[in-house]
Chain A
Amino acid sequence: MTRTWPPREAGTEQYSAGEDAGRKSSEEGRGLGGGSENSRRESGRSPGPRLRRAVAAGAVAVLVLGGCGFLHAAHQLRSDGSARNRALTDTEATSRVAGDVGDALARIFSYTPDGTAAAERSARTALDGKAARQYATLFDRVRQDLTAQRVTLSTRAVRTGVVELDGDRARLLVFLDQTSRRGEDAATTAAAQLTVTARLEDDRWRIVDIETR
């Protein structure tokens, strides 16, 4: 190809030797011609070997750049949002966090007039951070009323969806049905929708934030 024409034109002995080397090398593998040029360049001769050297260097550069491009694209694919989010893709982890959080919510929002202690005990193990503070504040406010008005509350998680699951952090959307009854009144059921942020600590999911929707 282009490599061969300058030697022919110049036609010196060194060139034909170079050309031979080039040919042989191109039979063996693309690059070797470039090598023979390299050494020749040091002796400071003609443009032919130089061209070959440039072509070889160019090929190396293109290959390395292309390789980097592929690696980058692959990395992008493996580390973008949808790849890092293991909700549903990791079925076991997904159902585990959904189960843990659903159970925890049911336990901490279920109590009888005499038994808020159980709910608060559950809250201590299941809640952390901001959620724990919110829960404590709420309970401090209503504890007296609960006993005075003999309120019973039972909560069930009817739907749980994992929005995001990334390592030890998860965000879930939970639909709750809450049945409450005051003394001997008829029970009323209300719907509640929560966005819950949970963190995995010591192999247990703890709720760190609760937001109503």
Chain B
Amino acid sequence: MRRARILAGTGLALALGFCGTSAWTYAQARADDGLAYGRERDAALADGRRALAALTTIDASTRQRAEGSVRDWRRVSTGPLREELGATEARAGASARGTVTEAAVTALDTRSGTAKLIATVRVETAPAGAGKPAVDRKRLEAVLARTGEDVWKVKALSAVPVQAARQEGTR
């Protein structure tokens, strides 16, 4: 009887210990800075890709749709870029559809909530009317900022320019 009691007690204590250790392990993983940083990087990448696709896309087949596209631009941008885009006048004209073919986060500061992203974008432009669509490939660099709603938005966007190499030291 006594032996059984000890046995059961040990069993319960072991179970309790096991559960406690596991919970602690989980808490550790949850609070791990490296892991949190990785998650933040992937969030910035995913949000950035979505934002760049939206920013290189405009459906200007009608004026209403163009206004919708400009609203999308404002939704995925913040700060100076947002102001700039807000001033864009929507009108019917050429349409474009951008697809991010590859993107990478090149810098990430989780504390200040800023990130840098480079991306290649394939842009299909269709002129108003029945013109022939054209495909253009762009390479872009974007500065992202994490906003209050924990969403990464584009603060600045620029094309990475081609620079002629100096004559000497060609690399």
Contacts and interface: CB of A to CB of B under 8 A. Distances in A.
Do A and B pair up? The answer is yes
Interface in A52-111: 56, 59-60, 63-64, 66-71, 73-74, 77-78, 81-83, 85-89, 106-107, 110
A88 B41 contact: yes
Interface residues of A, number: 63
Given A64-B18, A66-B22, A193-B137, A38 B118 contact: no
A9 interface: no
B contacts with A: majority SS: helix
Contacts of B128: none
Interface residues of B, number: 55
B42 A81 contact: yes
Contact of B106 (A38, A68, A161, A179): A161
B11 A25 contact: no
A130 interface: no
B135 interface: no
B171 interface: yes
B22 A85 contact: no
Interface of B: 1, 3-13, 15-16, 18-23, 25-26, 28-30, 32, 34-35, 37-39, 41-42, 101-108, 117-120, 137, 139, 141, 160, 162-165, 170-171
14 contacts: A25-B9, A29-B13, A31-B12, A34-B9, A36-B8, A37-B8, A56-B8, A66-B22, A88-B37, A88-B105, A89-B37, A161-B117, A177-B164, A193-B139
